[in-house]
């Protein structure tokens, strides 16, 4: 399939030559994937130096933006307390501390929840369950995974990632004595659940590629060995597990991008099972399961139910099966072509079903008796998500509402009357006034006539004369919906006259499963042409003008904006690509790379399918760099990123600098972080301030040509030594 031909890409580094399906590609920067070579780390460090020097003129702007973040963000707050068992649980931040502190206070029937929001006093009876700052203190990176307390409130298990690679360490603690009843469990996915008596712990282990593939049970009684419950051998599939809200079953889900199946273990009899729910795996059928009383609720797209309708229900239906006979489905909610069912939450006397309709979310409540009813909001743009609702026997349902102009707001919905009670609205400091900003929904028209939604927000006084700069975000993969969300840091842009927009391109899930299907596999190019159509529409309708648009996307969204820049470079003033998936063929052609088998369900299999190969080849940003003009780029990477390896953006930037005209082409690599970037609130703020300062500068200097990288080499195959000598020369 591949080899080398001796053509140099720098001293001692022969180019990698790939020949697949008759296509020959020379990759002169393939050496950057060899992380163990000393010159690779030296190259990444030199790129960081280059980026620091190229953005040194933005120091004052960065500091101003960071100060604006701090002015609108409260230094300390309490989250909305959640009742579980005999306690109110909440978390709080402390001024100057980068991570959260998780606490609880005992409660009794009739007790009110502790106060929330900035300035709320710390409850007298507070007990710290977990201080993330103490756990993270010894490490440069920290991310919390599972955080689960046993049903009786005595045992804690939490998952910690100290590398950014997504490999979590599980630790347990007796909350009464402080003892650690079991040794650390390393190499896990972060999922964990307790048995009913808190004496057994369920978890998922990762294989060598980072795929969650084995479900285990560990007993806290004695030195017995862990018991393997299930192993997923198909490399397309990943395992996840969790305890049902009823506390009666541990569910083990095996899922790929397109297919899933569920097994269950009785939580009060952890030595039994797991039992397969239903008739087993059917290709293309996705299933989500909850438990209620004597039945399992099954949300799926398989079609068949007691109505005898076997047609594919692509927008999903809700069925139920008795716990004692999980083979026959009974219908609860029929298929409806304009309404995509997205989730199910089961309570003792009610079922809440999440849905999407016309690009907006909502909830359908199914009471034990009576007609179903819906929770929606009257705004033109908003996002609704379920909050944490751990109590099974309750008559209230918590949900979170937000929009591009409305800070996150938590409501409690009375499941009997439908009344909404506001529990907390995120506090925004300074002189923030939501009425100062206006939201809009636009519809761009793609080349094939498809109408593509665009969500926008701007100050109400921003003129529609094309003078405003605009930041356009997008994602468009895996059926993931990018709903309107509030960002306090975004106010720094809006108050400078920017318009912020989200292009809801095909490949996402905003308009249902068909929207996803029309932007995956051989239809993937629709995502990129949709994004360009959205940018063109916003310029044509006066929101901005060509050349004043900065595009921003992460991971698959990084591929989106990079590909769009290649299609229409004159549209964009700059490109922010965060951990961008810009070299997709390298990943999809190599079965040894982590997660490759699963990714092929979204992108295709170019190794065996010539059509898939040529499709991906045609849009791969790395393989389509030309010597034409290209907008400036700020790309980011994480050295320990297991999903999008650091070398994808590193290779892309190197090729842009060696081949394309324009720039600057900059790379910022977090050398102690993974896919999500640096951990800790303050480090994240500093990085975001630097990114927004770059966005502001790119839009202000669009088309002026005065920000081109003075150290950029135009010679193909620019060597590491040349890059470093250029930097050293400029430094002296």
What whole-number distance in Å separates Cα of residue 106 and Cα of residue 304?
47
Q: Answer for the pair 559, 635: CB distance below 8 angstroms, yes or no.
A: no
Whole-number pLDDT of residue 715 = 31
| The token pair that represents 619 in the structure block | 């849009």
CA dist 185 and 136 (Å) reads 17
Model confidence at 723: pLDDT above 50: no
Neighbours of 603 (CB within 10 A): 24
Compute, in degrees rounded to 10, the torsion defined by CA atoms 647, 648, 651, 653. -120
CA distance 321 to 373: 23
| Whether the Cβ atoms of residue 543 and residue 439 lie closer than 8 Å to each other | no
509: tokens are 């899930």
Helix, coil or strand: residue 437? strand
Cis peptide before 468 (omega within 30 of 0): no
The pair of three-digit structure tokens given for residue 668, joined into one six-digit string: 């910022």
Instruction: Please state, in angstroms and rounded to a whole number, the distance separating the CA atoms of residues 478 and 245.
Output: 27
d(C-alpha 611, C-alpha 607), whole Å: 10
295/298 Cα distance (integer angstroms): 10
Beta strands 629-630 and 661-662 are parallel
d(CA 484, CA 491): 14
Helical pair 720-731 and 38-54, crossing angle rounded to 10 deg: 40
Residue 1 has pLDDT above 60, yes or no: no
pLDDT of residue 279: 79
Of 728 and 521, which is predicted with more confidence?
521
Asked if 506 and 424 count as a contact pair (C-beta separation under 8 A), the reply is no
CA 712 to chain centre: 33
**Element spanning 659, H or E:** helix 647-659
Q: What is the pLDDT of residue 527?
A: 98
How many whole angstroms separate alpha carbon 88 and alpha carbon 129?
Answer: 12
CA atoms of 479 and 95, how far apart (whole Å): 38
Segment 79-106, tens digit of pLDDT: 889 999 999 999 988 877 888 999 999 9
**Residue 674: strand pairing partners:** 677
Tell me which DSSP letter residue 612 carries.
H
**pLDDT class of 708 with cuts at 50, 70, 90:** very low
Using a CB cutoff of 8 Å and minimum separation of 24, what contacts does 699-706 make? Answer: 699/469, 699/470, 699/471, 699/498, 699/548, 699/549, 699/550, 699/573, 699/574, 700/469, 701/573, 702/469, 702/547, 702/548, 702/573, 702/574, 703/547, 703/573
Instruction: Dump the DSSP string for 591-651.
Output: TTSTTHHHHHHHH--TTT-HHHHHHHHHH-TGGG--SSEE--EEEEEETT-SSS-THHHHH
725 pLDDT exceeds 90? no
| Token pair listed for 59 | 């120091």
Assign 118 a pLDDT band (cuts: 50, 70, 90).
Answer: low
Integer Cα distance of 190 and 200 in angstroms? 16
- Domain positions in the chain are 39-70+437-731, 77-137, 139-276
Which residue's structure tokens are 């202000």?
A: 700
What value does the CA radius of gyration of the chain take, rounded to a whole number of Å? 26
* 39-70+437-731: CATH superfamily: Alpha/Beta hydrolase fold, catalytic domain (3.40.50.1820)
Q: 5 falls in which pLDDT band (50, 70, 90)?
A: very low
| Of the options 2.130.10.120, 3.10.129.10, 3.40.640.10, 2.70.150.10, the CATH number for the domain spanning 139-276 | 2.130.10.120
Give the Cα separation of 513 and 426 in Å (integer).
Answer: 32
Task: Choose from 180-194, 368-382, 521-535 the range with maximum mean pLDDT.
Answer: 521-535
Q: Report yes or no: 647 and 36 within 8 Å, Cβ to Cβ.
A: no
pLDDT band for 121, please (50, 70, 90 cuts).
low
Quote the percentage of the chain above a pLDDT of 90. Answer: 74
The 10s digit of each residue's pLDDT in 139-179 is 777 889 999 999 999 999 999 998 888 899 999 999 999 99
Other CB atoms within 10 Å distance of the CB of residue 234: 13
How much is the mean pLDDT over the chain?
A: 88
Which of the four pLDDT bands, split at 50, 70 and 90, describes residue 120?
low
pLDDT greater than 70 at residue 183: yes
Q: Of 377-391, 408-422, 708-722, which range is least confident?
A: 708-722
Helices and strands (H, E) in the chain, number of each type: 13, 40
Tell me the angle at which helices 647-659 and 38-54 cross, rounded to the nearest 10 degrees: 60
CA distance 623 to 619: 8
Confidence (pLDDT) at 98: 85
Q: Identify the band that residue 635 occupies on the pLDDT scale cut at 50, 70 and 90.
A: very high
pLDDT computed for residue 214 by the predictor = 98
Instruction: Report helix, strand or coil for 205.
Output: strand
Vertex 167 angle, CA 161 and 172, to 5°: 60
Q: Residue 587 half-sphere exposure, CB side, CA atoms within 13 Å?
A: 27
What does the block give as tokens for 718?
A: 């620019």
Lowest-confidence pick of 131-135, 420-424, 426-430, 584-588: 426-430
pLDDT digits (tens, 9 = 90+) for 243-264: 999 999 999 999 999 999 999 9
For residue 584, the surrounding DSSP H or E stretch is helix 584-588
Query: How many Å apart are CA 343 and CA 384, to the nearest integer?
Result: 12
Q: Which residue's structure tokens are 């769009």?
A: 564
Question: Rounded to 5 degrees, what are φ and ψ at 730?
Answer: -70, -35
Residues 142, 149: Cα–Cα separation, whole Å: 20
Using CA atoms, how far apart are residues 58 and 53, in angstroms rounded to an integer? 10
Q: What pLDDT does residue 110 have?
A: 58
CA neighbours closer than 13 Å in the CB half-sphere of residue 610: 5
Please give the average per-residue pLDDT across 9-17, as a whole number.
67
310-323: pLDDT as tens digits: 457 899 999 999 99
Q: pLDDT digits over 203-250, tens only?
A: 999 998 889 999 999 999 876 789 999 999 999 999 999 999 999 999
Per the DSSP assignment, residues forming a β-bridge with 672 are none
Q: In what order do the strands lie in the sheet with 396-402?
A: 383-386, 396-402, 409-414, 420-425
Q: How many CA atoms lie within 13 A of 161 on its CB side?
A: 27
């Amino acid at each position: 399939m591949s080899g080398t031909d001796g053509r140099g890409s720098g001293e001692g580094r022969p180019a990698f030559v790939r020949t697949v399906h008759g296509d020959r590609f020379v990759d002169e920067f393939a050496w950057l994937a060899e992380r163990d070579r000393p010159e690779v780390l030296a190259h990444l460090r030199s790129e960081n130096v280059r980026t620091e020097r190229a953005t040194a003129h933005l120091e004052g702007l960065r500091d101003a933006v960071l100060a604006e973040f701090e002015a609108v963000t409260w230094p300390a707050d309490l989250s909305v307390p959640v009742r579980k068992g005999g306690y109110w649980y909440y978390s709080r931040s402390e001024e100057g501390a980068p991570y959260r502190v998780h606490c609880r206070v005992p409660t009794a029937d009739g007790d009110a929840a502790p106060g929330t929001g900035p300035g709320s006093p710390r409850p007298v009876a507070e007990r710290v369950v977990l201080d993330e700052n103490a756990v993270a203190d010894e490490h440069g990176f920290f991310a919390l995974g599972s955080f689960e307390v046993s049903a009786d409130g005595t045992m804690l298990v939490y998952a910690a990632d100290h590398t950014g690679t997504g490999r979590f360490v599980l630790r347990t603690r007796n909350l009464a004595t402080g003892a650690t009843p079991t040794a650390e469990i390393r190499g896990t996915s972060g999922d964990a659940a307790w048995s009913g008596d808190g004496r057994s712990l369920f978890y998922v282990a990762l294989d060598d590629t980072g795929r969650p593939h084995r479900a285990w049970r560990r007993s806290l009684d004695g030195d017995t060995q862990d018991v393997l419950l299930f192993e997923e051998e198909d490399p397309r599939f990943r395992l996840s597990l969790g305890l049902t809200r009823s506390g009666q079953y541990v569910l083990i889900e095996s899922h790929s991008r397109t297919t899933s199946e569920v097994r269950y273990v009785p939580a009060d009899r952890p030595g039994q099972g797991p039992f397969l729910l239903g008739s087993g795996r059917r290709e293309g059928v996705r299933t989500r399961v909850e438990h209620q009383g004597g039945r399992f609720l099954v949300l799926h797209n398989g079609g068949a139910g007691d109505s005898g309708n076997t047609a594919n229900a692509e927008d999903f239906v809700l069925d139920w099966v008795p716990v004692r006979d999980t083979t026959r489905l009974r219908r609860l909610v029929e298929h409806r072509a304009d309404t995509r069912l997205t989730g199910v939450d089961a309570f003792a006397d009610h079922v809440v079903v999440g849905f999407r309709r016309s690009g907006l979310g909502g909830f359908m409540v199914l009471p034990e008796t009576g007609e179903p009813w819906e929770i929606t909001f009257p705004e033109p743009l908003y996002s609704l998500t379920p909050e944490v609702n751990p109590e099974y026997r309750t008559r209230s349902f918590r949900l979170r509402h937000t929009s591009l102009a409305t800070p996150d707001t938590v409501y409690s919905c009375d499941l009997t009357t439908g009344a909404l009670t506001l529990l907390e609205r995120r506090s925004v400091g300074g002189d923030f006034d939501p009425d100062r900003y206006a939201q809009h929904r636009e519809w761009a028209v793609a080349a094939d006539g498809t109408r593509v939604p665009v969500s926008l927000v701007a100050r109400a006084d921003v003129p529609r004369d094309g003078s405003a700069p605009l930041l356009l975000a997008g994602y468009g993969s895996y059926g993931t919906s990018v709903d309107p969300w509030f960002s306090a840091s975004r106010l720094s842009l809006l108050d400078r006259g920017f318009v912020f927009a989200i292009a809801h391109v095909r490949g996402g899930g905003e308009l249902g499963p068909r929207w996803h299907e029309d932007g995956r596999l051989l239809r993937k190019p629709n995502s990129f042409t949709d994004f360009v159509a959205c940018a063109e529409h916003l310029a044509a309708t006066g929101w901005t003008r060509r050349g004043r648009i900065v595009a921003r996307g992460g991971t698959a969204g990084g591929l989106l904006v990079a590909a769009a820049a290649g299609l229409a470079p004159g549209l964009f003033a700059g490109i922010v690509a965060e951990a961008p998936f810009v070299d997709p063929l390298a990943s999809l052609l190599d079965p040894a790379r982590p997660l490759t088998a699963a990714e092929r369900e979204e992108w295709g299999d170019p190794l065996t399918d010539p059509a898939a190969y040529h499709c991906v080849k045609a849009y791969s940003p790395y393989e389509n760099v030309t010597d034409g003009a290209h907008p400036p780029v700020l790309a980011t990477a994480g050295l320990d990123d297991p999903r999008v390896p650091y070398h994808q953006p590193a290779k892309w930037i190197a090729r842009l600098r060696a081949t394309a005209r324009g720039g600057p082409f900059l790379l910022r690599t977090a050398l102690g972080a993974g896919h999500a970037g640096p951990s800790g609130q303050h480090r994240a703020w500093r990085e975001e301030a630097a990114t927004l300062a770059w966005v502001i500068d790119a839009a202000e200097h669009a088309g002026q040509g005065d920000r081109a990288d003075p150290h950029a080499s135009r010679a193909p195959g620019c060597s590491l030594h040349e890059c470093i000598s250029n930097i050293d020369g400029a430094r002296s």
